[in-house]
Amino acid sequence: MVVDISFPEGYSVKDGIPGNSYIGDDYKLRYPTVDSMLDRIHTLGSGCLLYKRDLSRAYRQLCVDPGDYHLLGKGNFDVSPPFGLRTAALMCQRSTNAVSHILRNQGHEVINYIDDFDGAESPINATAAFESLGNPLNELGLQESVAKACAPATSMTFLGSEFDTVNMTIAVPIAKLTQIHEELSNWDNRSPCFHTELQSLIGLLSYVSNCVLLGRLFISCMLSTLRTFTTNHFHTRIGAEFCKDLLWWKTFLQDYNGVSIMHTQPWSPPDTVVCTDACLSGCGGVNGCIDQLSSYPFRFRT
């Protein structure tokens, strides 16, 4: 059953829920990212094994406070948080955080993203870690989606990106690349655009940006445009800088095969200076801190 808890605007269930507090505590919900898995893989090194377990219909395994039943229906009351409830994701993330905490105390690092549990371990410990992940789920009465479980292997999909610890690559699935090409072609001469259309575009391009860090720069203007929307039904015109970013993506994706080498360097500190030579083809550069400018060789040519 699909429940629209955002209607009517100003008087909906969602409007009555604070956006920055939960049970009296202030919060800011943060999810793990692709970088979280990359950091774990680099810590373990090439050839480490990846594994995954997943909860089945996670939201339906959570319970709403009985005092709030009457807020989630008329005649038929929902006793579990419906999809789209403002605090549902937080409830689920807090629950899986608790499972990850239990596993961490047992010596196993697990990355939990709402209802997904993903891990990376050395070949010696991977099987034990994968099996140990199933124990607290059973003990806590959490129902697992057995079909989605991935036993330890050198390749696995995490947050839509394909990881390969033998070749140390991260890739965008071919089907997703095809979808991105089709979506970009739909944006030719489009203006104005609607909130949901821009959200969809940014979501697709984020898959590539997970693998190609430079791509994140060419989403920032789109995110700024997205913040100008006041409601989901509002539309706005796209500016010249937005169109330039679209052109960059179209040009780049013509030659990109979807596979990238895992980046090994962390994000540069704020005082880093980067310089490169101009070049008509290829790319590259070296960087150094400000106090090294006098001696660091910046010239680099491809």
pLDDT at 32 over 70: yes
As a residue count, the chain comes to: 302
146 and 203 fall within a common domain: no
Nearest CA-CA partner of 114 in 132, 95, 131, 98: 95
Decide which of 166, 197, 219 is a domain's last residue: 166
Report how far residue 268's alpha carbon sits from residue 266's, in angstroms, rounded to the nearest whole number: 6
Residue 275 has pLDDT above 70, yes or no: no
pLDDT at residue 51, as a whole number: 96
pLDDT at 301 over 70: no
Taking the C-alpha atoms of residue 249 and residue 181, their distance in angstroms, rounded to an integer, is 9
The C-alpha angle 146, 150, 156, rounded to 5 degrees, equals 145
Of 148, 166, 184, the one marking the end of a domain is 166
**255 and 275 part of one domain:** no
The contacts of residue 36 (CB under 8 Å, 6+ apart) are 111
pTM recorded for the entire structure? 0.79
* Domain annotation covers residue 1: no
The number of distinct structural domains making up the chain is 3
Residue 194 within a domain: yes
pLDDT score, position 299: 37
In a domain, 6, yes or no: no
Is there a domain that residue 8 lies in? no
Q: Is residue 52 part of a domain?
A: yes
pLDDT of 302:
35
Q: Give the burial class of 133: count Cβ atoms within 10 A of its Cβ; 0-12 exposed, 13-18 middle, 19 or more buried.
A: buried
Q: pLDDT > 70: what percent of the chain?
A: 83
CB 29, CB 90: distance < 8 Å:
yes
Q: Which two tokens stand for residue 5?
A: 């808890």
Q: Is residue 205 part of a domain?
A: yes
- Looking at the predicted structure, is the pLDDT value of residue 169 above 60? yes
Q: Quick one: 200 and 91 in the same domain?
A: no
Query: pLDDT tens across 80-136, in order?
Result: 888 878 888 899 999 999 999 999 998 899 999 999 999 999 999 999 999 999 889
Residue-number span of the structural domain to which 283 is assigned: 268-302
Label residue 114 left, alpha or beta by phi (over 0 means left) and psi (-120 to 50 means alpha). Answer: left
Spatial contact of 269 and 292, defined as CB atoms under 8 Å apart: no
176 and 160 part of one domain: no
CATH of the domain at 64: 3.30.70.270
